[in-house]
Amino acid sequence: MQSNKYVDNFLASTESPKTQSSYRDTLEAFDAFCKTQGKDFSSVVTEWREARLSDSRRAEIIFVDEWQDVVRAFHTHIKPKYASLSTKQFLSIVKSFFKYNKIPVDIDLPKHTFVTFHNRDLNKNDIRLIVSRSSVRNRALWLMLAESGMRVGTAINMKYEWIKQDFEKQRLPMRINTPSQFMKDHVGERWTFIGEDGFKALQEYLKPRLPLKDDDYVFALEKPSKTQQAQHSQFTIQNVSVTFGQTVRKLKLDQTTTKGKPAHIRLHGLRKYFRNNCRADWSYREFWMGHSIGTDEHYISRNPEDHYPLYAKAYEELRVLEPSKETQKQLSGLEDKLTEKDREINLLKGELQEIKTTYAQLLPLAKFLQDTTEKDNLNSVLNAYGNRIETVKENGKPKRTLQIELTEKQLKLIGQEDFGKNITELSESLQKALNTTLNEIIVKRQGFKPKREKQTENKKPK
């Protein structure tokens, strides 16, 4: 297609370089088809203006009808060759061109469109294999696409300025800022992240190229040309897509497809992997992928610091490679601590069960003591522990004592809050019984008569 100002102005109205390239390819295909129909697409704007300015209304109607026939024929021509979504996209670009130049050609778009070719889902083992057989640059690029959810075009056009802050600080997760002009869905500035695997691969790739300027591409040509112009140019999506496809076929992860049809495993599958395995909230996941999130745009946090912990948690499922030795050591230490805590918890559970059993055994005794008289209480106790009544001397004077031995478990029981109240009641009941009937029981059993206190004059005995 010959370059003309009308096409150039239309392409310049789009924001993304990728969109401009896609639009140009479609218009070139449409121009080639127009020539088979005896029409010159490069002069369509000039012809329309001449017909509109002519005195004859007939010339204007003929022009519109002829070009509508051409567009309908183009639709028929591409329909068998492309999927329904691709067909609609081609016609939409042609329609946008006519609308931009105020040409009233009515173009009907397909109403029923659907996804014809689906990418096969990539799993972690697939990506590990692909990464292991890739160059240092592509290894970093593949991991970045899988961990960030970025579009391929955005990733290969990434400037060092986008990652400079976190990359130089070696902060993980590493934030990637994306200017709004590189976003497809006409959204504002966005950002996404990569984790430890992607960061280390990127670090390895950039190490021999540092230092970089803010405007330098992060991913450069692997075999730059000697010419100055080629050294500053960037590779295309098609370049890396072909490389990705070749690696997949070498690994026999995908079978050969029909000529002209897309492969089952494509580079876009890495972005799809992120979409399927990112377990973050829907609005944050779509935000990181650069999608429009509608009204949620007004409510989602725009503070990057709020996004770091959310991505770090989601990275547990996204991570493709095994953790590093240092990370494994840290995880191993945490596992050991958790195991020790589990052991301590199990011991405490066992002790608690023993305490509950002892408490259940003491309940009948407490109830018995509460339901009988104090004298009967003491008689029952002394009948069980009578052989332990001893005579000891305290300050040179004989004193009767009652020794009741408790097991270690029972001693532990006394110290528990849940049972303290019952033990206190039991102790008070026993003390009352001892105070009121001890002398009587001891005298009856051993014939011991306690000494009576000497009566003083003018005082009655107590």
Tell me the per-residue pLDDT of 216-256, one tens digit each, with 9 for 90 and over.
Answer: 999 998 776 554 444 456 788 889 999 999 999 999 887 66
Q: Are residues 245 and 147 part of one domain? A: yes
Q: Could you give the CA distance from residue 410 to residue 177 in angstroms, rounded to a whole number?
A: 66
> Does the residue 452 lie in any domain?
no
Q: Tell me if 429 sits within 8 A of 438, measured CB to CB.
A: no
Render pLDDT for 155-204 as a digit per residue (tens, 0 to 9): 999 999 999 999 999 999 999 999 887 777 667 889 999 999 999 999 99
Render pLDDT for 370-410 as a digit per residue (tens, 0 to 9): 665 555 555 555 555 444 445 445 555 555 554 455 455 55
Q: Are residues 318 and 175 part of one domain? A: yes
Predicted local distance difference test score (pLDDT) of residue 448: 46
Which residues are paired to 397 by β-bridges? 394
Q: Are residues 374 and 316 part of one domain? A: no
Q: Are residues 143 and 169 part of one domain? A: yes
**Does 179 sit behind a cis peptide bond, omega within 30 degrees of 0 on the bond before it?**
no
> Does the residue 339 lie in any domain?
yes
Q: Are residues 136 and 163 part of one domain? A: yes
Place of tokens 């610091």: 305
Q: Are residues 232 and 375 part of one domain? A: no
Q: Tell me if 270 sits within 8 A of 122, measured CB to CB.
A: yes
Torsion of CA 131, 136, 140, 141, to 10 degrees: -90
Q: Which of 293, 322, 351 is the last residue of a domain?
A: 322
Which residues are paired to 174 by β-bridges? 194
Q: Are residues 359 and 247 part of one domain? A: no
Overall pTM surpassing 0.75 (yes/no): no
> Does the residue 451 lie in any domain?
no
> Does the residue 106 lie in any domain?
no
Q: Are residues 336 and 294 part of one domain? A: no
User: Domain tally for the chain?
Assistant: 3
Q: Are residues 192 and 293 part of one domain? A: yes
Q: Could you give the CA distance from residue 307 to residue 82 in angstroms, rounded to a whole number?
A: 40
Q: Which of 322, 356, 387 is the last residue of a domain?
A: 322
Predicted local distance difference test score (pLDDT) of residue 366: 66
Q: Which of 160, 230, 231 is nearest to 202 (CA)?
A: 160
> Does the residue 118 lie in any domain?
no
Provide the percentage of residues in the chain whose pLDDT is more than 70.
70
Question: Between residues 306 and 1, which one has the greater pLDDT?
Answer: 306
Provide the percentage of residues in the chain whose pLDDT is more than 90.
44
> Does the residue 107 lie in any domain?
no
Q: What is the CATH number of the domain that holds 153?
A: 1.10.443.10
Predicted local distance difference test score (pLDDT) of residue 197: 95
Q: Are residues 233 and 180 part of one domain? A: yes
Render pLDDT for 409-424 as a digit per residue (tens, 0 to 9): 555 544 544 444 555 5
> Does the residue 260 lie in any domain?
yes
User: 55 lies in which domain range?
Assistant: 5-100
Question: What tokens were used for 234?
Answer: 């960037």
pLDDT of 102 strictly over 70? yes
The one-letter code for the residue type at 92 is S
Q: Are residues 156 and 201 part of one domain? A: yes
Q: Are residues 377 and 317 part of one domain? A: no
> Does the residue 30 lie in any domain?
yes
Q: Which of 36, 67, 100 is the last residue of a domain?
A: 100
Predicted local distance difference test score (pLDDT) of residue 385: 47
